[in-house]
Amino acid sequence: MSQGLELRDLNIGYTSTLITANLQVGDGITVILGPSGCGKSTLLSTILGSVPALGGSLLLNDVEITSAPIHERRIGMVFQDPLLFSHLTVLQNVMYGLRRSGISKTLAARKATELLEWVGLLGYESRSTQELSGGQAQRVALARALAPEPAALLLDEPYSSLDAELRTRLAAEVAELLRSRNVVAVHVTHDEAEARSITSEIFRVEQGSLERVTK
């Protein structure tokens, strides 16, 4: 049984195919590199389930999920903007998905606190999200996405609003955190320096397909 994501001739697009993707993602992070408008975000949305595939197959841990609804896929996502709830504290943001799934408040708080410690934000539990820096907000978004223990995580240019130095450093730090938990992850970016700071598993969108980048 193969663990991870597998894309088999998966046709990505809204009305016509932008990318035909063949890809296997095991433990660790795979980066999809390409310019704006080439279909990278649409690829993630198709894996997530918010955009239907135009053809082909998508498997997660050897189970086909091509037509499965979003809530049955067990896939988390971190977006370009953190999209934190401004009316909730940092801890409540991380607890949100856990509470919606029926986990008790006590258990959800304990798990959320552990995740905040993991992303280096222990002590920030009661803070307003409006007090956070851009990098801190994305760390909270990462903790929130991982709280329900998804089988795979998607990262859609999550550091694009940060300056280049911070973007590269934070991308490398988060990649190391994800590797430490054996998380299956797909990260898309237009920044080659950022891509190379994350992993050697890099694929570039070229002429409607994914081509491996070699160093």
Task: Output the domain CATH number for residue 152.
Answer: 3.40.50.300
> Which residues have CB under 8 Å from 165's CB, separation 6+?
none
Please give the angle made by the CA atoms of 213, 214 and 215, to the nearest 5 degrees.
125
- pLDDT at residue 171 in the model: 87
Average pLDDT of the chain to the nearest whole number: 93
In this structure, what token pair is assigned to residue 59? 């498997």
- Per the structure, the count of domains in the chain is 1
User: What mean pLDDT is predicted for residues 151-162?
Assistant: 90
Please give the angle made by the CA atoms of 60, 206 and 210, to the nearest 5 degrees.
20
- pLDDT at residue 215 in the model: 65
Q: Give 177's pLDDT tier (boundaries 50, 70, 90).
A: confident
Sheet holding 152-156, edge to edge: 63-64, 55-60, 5-13, 17-25, 209-213, 202-206, 28-33, 184-189, 152-156, 75-78
Whether the predicted pLDDT of 1 surpasses 60:
no
For residue 49, give its domain range.
5-213
Burial 149-178 (b: 16+ CB within 10 A, else e): ebbbbbbbbbbeebeeeebbebbeebbebb
Report pLDDT digits (tens) over 23-74. 999 878 999 999 999 999 999 999 999 999 999 999 999 999 999 999 999 9
- pLDDT at residue 139 in the model: 92
